[in-house]
Amino acid sequence: MARVAREVESQALKLSRRDRARLAQRLISSLDEEGEADAEQLWRAEAERRLAELKSGKVVGIPAEKVLRKVRSALR
């Protein structure tokens, strides 16, 4: 696969600046799409874990007002 990637890279570098930019954008977007699906699944699992901890009493929530007050104080 490394040989194929090097060949593709060599050909891509021969493209015009505009075409290279378009290709780079499409390649980066393809990485973002894959990562977004994984990230969404991981965040959902994390949210479910935290909700279960709250419901079980393992952790106690802190009211948003209190958290925001503390953050605002720290930023001053």
The pLDDT, as a whole number, for residue 34 is 65
The pLDDT, as a whole number, for residue 29 is 86
Whether this prediction's pTM lies above 0.75 is answered by no
Query: CA angle at residue 10 from 8 to 11, to 5 degrees?
Result: 65
The pLDDT, as a whole number, for residue 32 is 73
Counting Cα atoms < 13 Å in the Cβ hemisphere of 18 gives 0
Percent of the chain clearing pLDDT 90 (strictly above): 78
3-state secondary structure the chain: CHHHHHHHHHHHCCCCHHHHHHHHHHHHHHHHHHHHHHHHHHHHHHHHHHHHHHHHCCCCCCCHHHHHHHHHHHHC
Q: Quick one: average pLDDT of 51-57?
A: 96
